A and B are shown apart, each in its own frame.
Chain A
Amino acid sequence: MSQKLYARTYLKNNKKRVATLIISLTLCVALNYLTSFLLGVSVETVRPLCTEVPKVMQFISYNDAEKLIGEDVEYETYEEGVNLYNAELEKLGKKIETECEKVDKVFTAMQIDGEIRALFATWYFEGALLEAEDIQEYLDFYDAKLIEGKMPQGDGEVLIDSMTMKNSGYKIGDEVNYYTLYKIVGVVESDYNLICGTPHKEHFTQKNLFIFSDGITDLKSELEPIGVELDESYVYWTDYKTQNADLQEDMIKAIDSSTQIVYIGIVVLMCIALSVIYITFLRDRHSEWCLYASIGYSRKSIYLSIMRELLFTFVLSFVIGIGITALSVVLIDLLYITPNGLNCKYLNLDAIKDVILDFLIFFAILQIPVRYALYRIKTIDALGDDLY
């Protein structure tokens, strides 16, 4: 074996200093990953609402009722107008159900909105207020089973899925406020967030179409061939295409920019903190390296030994950081995310890539003080008082 400065001699004998660096780097791993993870909880909670539910149920609501009943049709009272609109909508629903091959069922019903609080955002989803006898059929499309309470029977009673119940903190008997109060009478188990129930007789309003289909992703282009035009200026509709676009635009972009700001902040602060700590350590070793240079070690040998020390510190920090982060993720999920009806994704490859990039940046930044320390190495003249 040839002459080599072993990194382990320094690492073994300077545990406190090495630990300082390892703790700093480990914190960086945890901070970076957990930030992405927590911000991602909002996306992961809302994602099924935007990508799974719209594949089962599509929704159509007319903002301008006259576009449906005709602009020249006259009516005297609000109720008369609503009745005309609902009758036309019923016809439209039947037309879609019979003429569009992919459509299994269209419910024409009043709307109630469910709400999901997703840590850093709130997302709403549509549910139907139906006749009591239609509710079971409606639930079947969601593959939902009643697990607690009873099916809605009287006026203004609703069912909510268990995940939404957890998320909102509701329990059976509580009331949901959507223009008026609806009493929660049952909980269903389903893969999808859903709310449905019976309307209040006195709460009389426009109905909407709840379309259950076999995988329609673009409702507009599906309905065009049967002569149903969906125009954004007077129709609001949801399907996989619109919801996914909303998810990207309203949630993912916003979360991404927040993540980037936090990420850059962490990187800058860590660069400053690590550089300050490391420069102090390097300064304390100046005489040691001058001694090595005096007894025949080249600058390259000294540099390689510093790199081995750094590499070991970085790799160990990464491993410990990943371990601590994984444990934190599981604990956060068990103690907060699942109990609150939120969703999360444990493995975030983008966040791991960011952490690796952080480490490469830190490693590169620390080359500056290392190079300067090497430049300052002299031989015997520079040996100082810090050696015994």
Chain B
Amino acid sequence: MFEIKDITMIYDMDKAEKVYALKGFDLTLPDKGLIGIIGPSGSGKSTLMYCLSTLKKPTSGTIHYNDKEITNLRDSERETLRRDEFGFVFQRHFLVPYMSALDNVTVAAAKNGPQTVEKAKDILTSLGLGNTEISKRPSKLSGGQRQRAAIARAMINSPKVLFADEPTAALDHDNAFLVMEILKKYSSENLVVVITHDRSILKDADSVIEMWDGDISAVKEAKDI
């Protein structure tokens, strides 16, 4: 699904001392499965996710998504790709405060209408949010409920790739494993890329990519995790 060739990302290009976030490596990601990207802060894992999801453009190198080069797409094409093919779970939920949990999910829908609302309710319910919770604003939800609402938002368009950046960082242990269960289930038919520095949540990952200082230090398959 993703073919990454010699990807580099340099911040502060105009400064004398350049910061290499990605140092030129190759990587291939499959069509489905739970892929973990692990590494300490500043290792480049978030930058890699942003490049894969077209939120950022790499300084050099190529990324092919389903055989299509996506680093040189126009803004409108990147937006369409993010909307139709990708879903995002951010580290800090990022729910719109004035919207209910349900509205926070439907706002991301590629198509509006009554069917979308029903679908959003179904996803929220399947993620364990009851009818009362889905009409509450984020401020009235617990951290776990917010994160589940954020996951539901990421899933509303049934994306082929779901990017999750530190999805359990703000959650307690139980909620963290619950979220990972949801993502694991979703990865049975889609690609789920989880960025984390917490190795324990990746015990069910199909493969784990370890990053260090902007480069890949190791790629471990399920049997090696």
Contact = CB atoms under 8 A, between A and B. Distances in A.
B98 A14 contact: yes
A380 interface: yes
Interface in B98-115: 98-99, 103, 107-113
Interface residues on B, range: 35 or more
A294 B96 contact: no
Interface in A1-22: 1-6, 9-10, 13-14
Contact of A294 (B55, B103, B107, B139): B55
A29 B20 CA distance: 58
Interface stretch (A252-260, A295-303, A355-363): A295-303
Interface residues of A, number: 26
B82 interface: yes
B108 to A, nearest CB: 5
B70 interface: no
A76 interface: no
A31 to B, nearest CB: 30
A1 B96 contact: no
Contacts of B141: 388
Contacts of B98: 10, 13-14
Q: Is the interface of A mostly helix, strand, loop or mixed?
A: loop
A364 interface: no
Interface in B79-104: 79-84, 86, 88, 90, 92-99, 103
B88 A387 contact: no
B79 A380 contact: no
Most buried by A among B86, B97, B141, B153: B97
A176 interface: no
A133 B100 CA distance: 86
Contacts of B132: none
B138 interface: yes
B96 A297 contact: no
Contact of A3 (B95, B99, B112): B112
B55 A380 contact: yes
B139 A295 contact: no
A287 interface: yes
Q: Is the interface of B mostly helix, strand, loop or mixed?
A: loop
A9 B108 CA distance: 13
Contact of A387 (B82, B93, B112, B113): B93
A294 B82 contact: yes
B103 A298 contact: no
Contacts of B146: 388
A231 interface: no
Contacts of A380: 50, 55, 90
A387 B138 CA distance: 9
Contacts of B56: 379
A9 B84 contact: no
Contacts of A379: 50, 55-56
B84 A388 contact: no
Nearest to B94: A387
B149 to A, nearest CB: 9
A5 B138 CA distance: 19
Contacts, number: 76
A295 B80 CA distance: 9
B164 to A, nearest CB: 13
B99 A296 contact: no
B109 A387 contact: no
A146 to B, nearest CB: 70
B48 to A, nearest CB: 13
Contact of B111 (A3, A6, A13, A294): A3
B46 to A, nearest CB: 9
B75 interface: yes
Contacts of A5: 107
Nearest to B82: A296
B76 interface: yes
A152 to B, nearest CB: 75
Contacts of B82: 294-296
B79 A387 contact: no
A386 to B, nearest CB: 7
A387 B95 contact: yes
A6 B139 CA distance: 22
Most buried by A among B84, B108, B109: B108
Nearest to B115: A1
A294 B50 CA distance: 10
Contacts of A387: 92-97
A298 B79 contact: yes
Nearest to B80: A296
A294 B83 CA distance: 9
A296 B94 contact: no
Contacts of B81: 296
Contacts of A288: 96
A25 B84 CA distance: 40
Most buried by B among A2, A5, A13: A13
24 contacts: A2-B110, A2-B112, A3-B83, A3-B111, A4-B112, A10-B98, A13-B99, A291-B96, A292-B107, A293-B79, A294-B90, A296-B80, A296-B83, A296-B84, A296-B86, A297-B79, A297-B83, A298-B79, A379-B55, A379-B56, A383-B94, A387-B94, A388-B93, A388-B141
Given A2-B110, A380-B50, A388-B95, 13 more contacts: A13-B103, A295-B82, A295-B153, A296-B81, A296-B84, A296-B108, A298-B75, A379-B55, A380-B90, A386-B97, A387-B95, A388-B93, A388-B146
Interface of A: 1-6, 9-10, 13-14, 287-288, 291-298, 379-380, 383, 386-388
CB-CB nearest 9 A-B residue pairs: A296-B83, A388-B138, A296-B82, A13-B98, A387-B94, A388-B95, A379-B55, A1-B113, A1-B112
